[in-house]
Amino acid sequence: MSTWRLGVQGSVRNPRSFTYRELLSMPQVTLPVTLECSGNKRALFHPKARGEQWQTGGVSHAVWTGVALRDILSMCGLLDRAREVVFEGLDRGERTDRPGIFAYARSLPLEKALHPHTIIALHKNGKPLPYKHGFPARLIVPGWYGMASVKWLHRIVVTDHAFQGPFQTVDYVYYKDEADPSHRRPVTVMKVNSVIARPSDQEIVRRGVHTVTGAAWSGEGPVVQAHVSVDAGRTWQEAEWLDPPFPYAWRRWRLRWNAARPGAYDIMVKALDASGRTHPKEAEWNLKGYGNNGIHHIRVYVD
């Protein structure tokens, strides 16, 4: 920690670096933020979707505390030509698709970088960041899929052009056809999404009353309703919220379910966010399996 610095350079009037202590001494912003990996629910998409398989577990929630990025950028003085801000982590390695060693690096458009809720987080749930989650400092980009929230941050570069690193232009891009670059769209804001946590898929449960639980979230405003079906989508019931609404945070929900008769039950959940967005029955498939917000569907057997 005595050697770590956060450097800020590029299209700024005063390039400089910040020590951990300096960042700790600046005004802090605290926000509850849910981070969903863009590859969450990839396995439920399509067997052809490439990438790591998180099942439905590629989502987490925490209270993050740190310095607003715009405070740091304003101390350095953005130049008029500034267009994007690039964030570089300390992790680096080889890629299978091209020669060379690459650091994990991603950019944000200036507008999102200057949003008061885009922070350089130093604390997670009131404690210094755990190593796995980015110690000493990480970016937190509320509302965007997890890839934007660069961990082990050590360098910020303000640029006057669009960043072309592989974690920006090869990974985290929606496309269906490698040969056709015209349909490529960057992965950014989290779509409204929800999952069933309990019971689990293929679980055998006893006859009687159960509580179906899960979580719902959206990058476009708080989720306002979650509906659950225990009859394969024929009828839907409104679930009860366990958490208050907050723009960037998931809300856990529950529904009492009286499983009176033995048999197979298809349980589904769909959520609605404050901007009126809901799930498609099936999300649009893309080659890398990003952004699957199709309706989560499990089958449970009542004994």
Site residues, ligand MTE (CB under 6 A): 35, 37, 60, 89, 91, 104, 133, 146-147, 149-152
How far is residue 157's CA from residue 6's CA, in Å, rounded to a whole number? 11
Q: Which residue has the CB atom at the shortest distance from ligand MTE?
A: 89
d(CA 170, CA 176): 13
Residue 152 contact partner, candidates ligand MTE, Mo ion, none, CB within 5 to 8 A by sort of partner: ligand MTE
State in angstroms the smallest separation of the CB of 261 from ligand MTE: 40
Count of Cβ atoms closer than 10 Å to residue 126 Cβ: 9
In terms of CB distance, is 119 or 298 closer to ligand MTE? 119
- Residue 150 interaction partner, one of Mo ion, ligand MTE, none, beta carbon < 5-8 Å per kind: ligand MTE
Which among ligand MTE, Mo ion, none contacts residue 107 (Cβ within 5 to 8 A by kind)? none
The entry of ligand MTE, Mo ion, none that residue 45 binds, CB within 5 to 8 Å by partner kind: none
- Identify which of residues 91 and 284 has a Cβ nearer to ligand MTE in the complex: 91
The Cα-based distances of 181 to 75, 98, 175, 176 in angstroms read 39, 18, 8, 9
- Binding partner of residue 89 among Mo ion, ligand MTE, none, CB under 5 to 8 Å per kind? ligand MTE
Using an 8 Å Cβ cutoff, are 11 and 84 in contact?
A: no
Task: Please report, in angstroms and rounded to a whole number, the separation of the first and last CA atoms in the chain.
Answer: 56
Any idea what the Cα angle at residue 252 is, between residues 250 and 254, rounded to 5°? 155
CB of 35 to ligand MTE, least distance (A): 6
Beta carbon nearer to ligand MTE, 42 or 227: 42
* CB nearer Mo ion, residue 105 or residue 226: 105
Nearer to ligand MTE, 229 or 286 (CB): 286
Which C-beta is closer to Mo ion: that of 37 or that of 69?
Answer: 37
Query: In angstroms, what is the minimal distance from the CB of 288 to Mo ion?
Result: 11
User: Cβ of residue 52: shortest distance to Mo ion, in angstroms?
Assistant: 8
* Closest approach of ligand MTE to the CB of residue 106, in Å: 8
Own/partner long-range contacts of 201-204 (Cβ < 8 Å, ≥24 apart): 201/298, 201/299, 201/300, 202/298, 202/299, 202/300, 202/301, 203/300, 203/301, 204/300, 204/301, 204/302, 204/303
Q: Pick from ligand MTE, Mo ion, none: which does 133 bind, CB < 5 to 8 A by kind?
A: ligand MTE
Nearer to ligand MTE by Cβ, of 84 and 270: the residue is 84
The distance of closest approach from Cβ of residue 86 to Mo ion in the complex, given in angstroms and rounded to an integer, is 18
Which residues lie across from 68 on neighbouring strands?
119
* Least distance (Å) between residue 92 CB and ligand MTE: 9
Of 146 and 219, nearer to Mo ion (C-beta) is 146
Tell me how far, at minimum, the Cβ of 234 lies from ligand MTE, in Å: 35
How far apart CA 182 and CA 255 sit, in angstroms, is 44
Dist CA 203 CA 300 (whole Å): 5
Q: Give me the residues that bind Mo ion (CB under 5 A), please.
A: 37, 146
